[in-house]
């Protein structure tokens, strides 16, 4: 019994120490995690080149990595430029939206014969639309501001990748152990890269389709809201809901009419339903094999530690941990507990 208590105490200490480290090292870890994601995406782009036999045979790996990095960072540069312009426009429009809150409330009251102020009186006391919108804008702006450090991290990740095999060979004395360890790491790397690559592709499809809807309807800063939907698509269930509600609210406040808001709600909501329930399962299969309870706990924990960014990375991080745990014999039981139905891919 004493041993069990010691184990529990040790686990609690490790957990508290980890949380404290995540809070203190937030400004270092967030850019590094972004760099890891970009690194995996670059590797996925690099593997696309290998589908061409001539390139796979004749083009060195470093050149493919360089070309893939240029492609990814050019796209990122365009995204950052568009986002910066959209954020500036949105910040100028926030006071106008805030002034239209009363008008939008009265419009809903008269149309549906309900009194929103009475129904949500307890919640509206602390509700500040402008502060919520500014928090989202500041979170995204903070992420964009760390892109230089992300670039540095990505560069050193590729340098580390080039010598990782040699380091692994020095760690394991026998060729058999080295081969087993290398195959395990390659398996984990492939699984994580596939998940990040496919999830990014699905999120891009959702974001592009949503941008077309917002641009046609005429919502201010359509790229910003489409990018927000792209990010929130990494959060299951509530991410899609929040991603649709924000531009719907903006449409109501911007136009002062229900029709544009209803169009955004129906069209953007339909995109989320089609992509989430039809396209994503076909593309990704059973990649998101996470218990619903674990998803909620993950959202709550990461959200309290790192805010909106923590919520965005919470489920992908959990999925990646399940992939890693499922590939290691000693941690396979943990992967089973975290999984949706107790079934894991070996």
pLDDT score of 126 more than 60 = no
How far apart CA 111 and CA 120 sit, in angstroms, is 17
| Three-class DSSP category at 32 | helix
Angle at 332 between CA 197 and CA 276, to 5 degrees: 35
How far apart CA 309 and CA 140 sit, in angstroms, is 8
What value does the mean pLDDT take over residues 95-119? 65
pLDDT at site 263: 92
Whole-number mean pLDDT of the chain?
78
pLDDT digits (tens, 9 = 90+) for 157-216: 888 887 887 788 888 878 888 887 888 788 777 777 777 888 888 889 999 999 999 999
pLDDT at site 48: 85
Dihedral sign (CA 67, 73, 74, 75) = positive
pLDDT score of 124 more than 60 = no
Pick the range with the lowest mean pLDDT from 131-140, 205-214, 218-227, 269-278: 131-140
- For residues 4 and 309, the model is more confident at 309
Cα separation values, 118 from 101, 105, 115, 158, Å:
15, 11, 6, 58
pLDDT at site 123: 46
pLDDT score of 128 more than 60 = no
What confidence tier does 143 reach under pLDDT thresholds 50, 70, 90?
A: low
pLDDT at site 142: 64
Q: Residues 6 or more apart from 345 whose CB is under 8 A from it? A: 191, 286, 289, 326
pLDDT at site 140: 63
pLDDT at site 51: 84
**Strands (E) located in 198-283:** none
Write the DSSP string, 35-64: HHHHHHHHHHHHHHHTTSHHHHHHS-HHHH
List the domain boundaries for the chain.
2-285
């Amino acid at each position: 019994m004493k041993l069990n208590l010691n184990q529990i105490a040790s686990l609690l200490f490790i957990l508290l120490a980890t949380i404290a480290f995540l809070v203190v090292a937030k400004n270092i870890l967030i850019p590094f995690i972004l760099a890891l994601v970009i690194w995996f995406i670059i590797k996925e782009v690099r593997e696309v080149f290998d589908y061409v036999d001539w390139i796979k045979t004749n083009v060195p790996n470093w050149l493919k990595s360089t070309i893939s990095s240029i492609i990814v960072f050019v796209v990122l540069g365009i995204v950052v430029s568009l986002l910066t312009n959209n954020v500036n426009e949105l910040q100028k429009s926030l006071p106008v939206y805030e002034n239209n809150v009363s008008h939008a409330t009265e419009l809903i009251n008269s149309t549906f014969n309900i009194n929103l102020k009475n129904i949500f009186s307890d919640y509206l006391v602390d509700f500040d639309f402008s502060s919520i919108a500014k928090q989202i804008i500041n979170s995204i702006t903070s992420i964009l501001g760390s892109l230089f450090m992300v670039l540095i991290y990505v560069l050193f990740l590729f340098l580390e990748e080039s010598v990782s095999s040699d380091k692994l060979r020095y760690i394991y004395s026998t060729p058999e152990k080295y081969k087993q360890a290398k195959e395990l790491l390659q398996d984990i790397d492939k699984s994580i890269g596939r998940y990040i690559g496919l999830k990014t592709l699905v999120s891009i499809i959702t974001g592009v389709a949503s941008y077309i809807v917002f641009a046609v309807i005429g919502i201010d800063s359509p790229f910003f809201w489409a990018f927000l939907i792209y990010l929130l698509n990494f959060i299951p269930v509530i991410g899609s809901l929040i991603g649709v509600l924000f531009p719907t609210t903006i449409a109501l406040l911007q136009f002062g009419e229900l029709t544009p808001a209803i169009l955004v709600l129906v069209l953007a909501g339909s995109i989320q339903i089609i992509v989430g329930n039809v396209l994503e399962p076909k593309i990704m299969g059973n990649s998101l094999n996470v218990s619903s309870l674990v998803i909620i706990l993950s959202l709550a924990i990461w959200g309290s530690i790192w805010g909106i960014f923590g919520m965005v990375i919470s489920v992908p991080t959990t999925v990646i941990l399940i992939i890693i745990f499922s590939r290691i014999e000693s941690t396979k039981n943990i992967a089973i507990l975290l999984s949706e139905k107790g079934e894991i891919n070996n």
